[in-house]
A and B are shown apart, each in its own frame.
Chain A
Amino acid sequence: MNEQFLYGLQKSPRPEFSAALLNEINTHHSVENNHRYIGVSPWTIGLASVFLILTLTFAFVPSAQALAVEFLQKIGIVTFEEKDQINISRAPNAKGAITITEQEARDFFVLPFTLPMWVPEGFEVNPVFFRVDAPIEELPPVVRSQWHGDRGYIDLTIVPNDKKWEDRYKDRPENVGPGSVEEVDINGSPAALISGGWTADKIPEVGETLTYSWSSEPGRGSILWVQDDLLYTINWTYLPDTQDPIQNDEIIQMARSIP
């Protein structure tokens, strides 16, 4: 009798049980929806959906510094402004998001994309977390993958760097906290590295407007850059109990490992 023996006593739940429990909860969900039940918990909004992620990601990058403006213009789709506080109205969650396999994402996506060859130790990819958000006529295709570990979550979003995105962000200044952005090099391209993120006291209802303050605490941030006609964005956030938040250098190494 050893540890392997003890692990070996595990078994998979019966598929019928797994399906029945999920079905029961889903049925319960439908009933609650008929009663207009809306559950709310105090999450911050950074990762609510691909739509929300991209909106807030671009909101992280400032324009007040000439250097930032200069290199961000090379990325070419967003204007930026530094602020201490901002008001954000929560947009609806992305419609039609589906979970697909990596191969399906590759088949569906308009351009070939590559994923990091290296992620920080202890992080594992969610195996079915690739998403293409529909309807395509409203948003260009988006591929998203998430890694999770004891120290937090890392989210990678890939979109084509085409005119749709340029139009979308034209004349719309996006906001980040003072001094939170710096330029780094990712595989020969300038990248915006943003340390920190906007934080509110609660998670808003859809359509509700809240005032957000910039939080510079470690373990949270974004990086975006263009590579092979694709706009790559990595967002990361910490888990509250971690003593070892994700470091910017680890994210830079992860980004640079995309061939």
Chain B
Amino acid sequence: MTSTSNFAKSLDRATPSVDWDTVYATEMPRVFNFLRYSVGNDMLAEDLTAETFRKAWQNRHKYDHNRGAFSTWLFSIARRSAIDYFRARKPELPIESLSNLSANDLSEATIQQQEELMRLTTILNQYPVRERELIALKFGAGCSNKEIAIQTGISETNVSTLLHRILQKIREAWEVNE
């Protein structure tokens, strides 16, 4: 039996129709993976995830359900965090990622997955921010095309078309690198 956390209880008061423990349990991994696909680095993704939730917490009274679902609002903060990161950083490839893994993480499968994520983000880094964002929302956060359309303001049809094109570009780049 799980007690409702202080986080949930307090947010309940501000937005009473949302189950905040469930929001944290379901949305935090999605936000983390969105940022992970965006920046290609687990530790950095953790930092940006924490920053996202801190901002959400600090600005929770500004959330207006009339303007969208809570997850939409949360992802708008996460997207801003990612954009701010890319604006602030020097252009570089995420080659430092492996050094951030702890000894417990160094299984063969983990290393391979991390290498593949790095390879993906290396490819994505050559694309415009919007295209990177679409991939991170789709495959990192697991958003539906409709959710992505709401997030980005692009029509659902355009989201589908753009994703198709970007995937084609990634496939080609992936094969070239093999």
Binding site for B on A (CB under 8 A): 1, 3, 5-14, 17-18, 21-22, 24-26, 28-30, 32-33, 38-43, 45-49, 52, 93, 97-101, 104, 126-129, 146, 150, 153, 203, 206, 237, 239-241
Inter-chain contact A98/B2, CB cutoff 8 Å: yes
| Complexed CA–CA distance, A7 and B175 (Å) | 18
Identity of the chain B residue whose Cβ is nearest the Cβ of A52 in the assembled complex: B16
Inter-chain contact B53/A240, CB cutoff 8 Å: no
Inter-chain contact A22/B69, CB cutoff 8 Å: no
Given known pairs A48-B16, A93-B16, the reply for A10 and B50 (CB within 8 Å) is: no
Identity of the chain A residue whose Cβ is nearest the Cβ of B21 in the assembled complex: A99
Given known pairs A41-B14, A41-B61, A98-B2, the reply for A22 and B7 (CB within 8 Å) is: yes
17 CB contacts below 8 A, A to B, read A6-B138, A7-B139, A22-B24, A38-B13, A39-B13, A39-B61, A40-B14, A41-B15, A43-B65, A93-B13, A98-B1, A104-B1, A127-B22, A128-B22, A128-B25, A146-B19, A240-B67
Interface residues as binary, B38-71 with A (CB distance below 8 Å gives 1, 0 otherwise): 0000100010011001100100111111111100
Inter-chain contact A29/B120, CB cutoff 8 Å: no
* SS class, residues of chain A in contact with chain B: loop
Inter-chain contact A13/B46, CB cutoff 8 Å: yes
Inter-chain contact A21/B146, CB cutoff 8 Å: no
A43: chain B residues at CB < 8 Å are: 14-17, 65
- The contact of B117 among A9, A18, A93, by CB within 8 Å, is A9
| Complexed CA–CA distance, A126 and B1 (Å) | 15
- The contact of B5 among A6, A10, A26, A239, by CB within 8 Å, is A26
A99: chain B residues at CB < 8 Å are: 2-4, 19, 21-22
A7: chain B residues at CB < 8 Å are: 139, 142
Given known pairs A6-B139, A9-B117, A42-B66, the reply for A25 and B15 (CB within 8 Å) is: no
* SS class, residues of chain B in contact with chain A: helix
Interface residues as binary, B85-128 with A (CB distance below 8 Å gives 1, 0 otherwise): 00000000000000000000000000001001100100000000
Inter-chain contact A126/B19, CB cutoff 8 Å: yes
A153: chain B residues at CB < 8 Å are: 17
B139: chain A residues at CB < 8 Å are: 3, 6-7, 9-10
Inter-chain contact B14/A39, CB cutoff 8 Å: yes
B14: chain A residues at CB < 8 Å are: 39-41, 43
| Complexed CA–CA distance, A99 and B139 (Å) | 30
A22: chain B residues at CB < 8 Å are: 5, 7, 24
Given known pairs A38-B13, A48-B17, the reply for A1 and B4 (CB within 8 Å) is: no
- Determine if B147 is an interface residue (Cβ-Cβ < 8 Å): yes
A52: chain B residues at CB < 8 Å are: 16
| Complexed CA–CA distance, A205 and B5 (Å) | 21
- The contact of B54 among A25, A40, A49, A98, by CB within 8 Å, is A25
Given known pairs A40-B61, A41-B60, the reply for A17 and B5 (CB within 8 Å) is: no
Identity of the chain A residue whose Cβ is nearest the Cβ of B150 in the assembled complex: A241
Inter-chain contact B10/A33, CB cutoff 8 Å: yes
Interface centre among A22, A49, A129, A203 (most CB of B within 10 A): A22
- Determine if B170 is an interface residue (Cβ-Cβ < 8 Å): yes
Identity of the chain B residue whose Cβ is nearest the Cβ of A27 in the assembled complex: B6
A97: chain B residues at CB < 8 Å are: 4
- Determine if B37 is an interface residue (Cβ-Cβ < 8 Å): yes
- Determine if B132 is an interface residue (Cβ-Cβ < 8 Å): no
A18: chain B residues at CB < 8 Å are: 28
- The contact of A3 among B33, B50, B116, B167, by CB within 8 Å, is B167
Inter-chain contact A11/B64, CB cutoff 8 Å: no
Identity of the chain A residue whose Cβ is nearest the Cβ of B57 in the assembled complex: A25
B57: chain A residues at CB < 8 Å are: 25, 28-29
- Determine if B157 is an interface residue (Cβ-Cβ < 8 Å): no
A28: chain B residues at CB < 8 Å are: 57
| Complexed CA–CA distance, A12 and B28 (Å) | 10
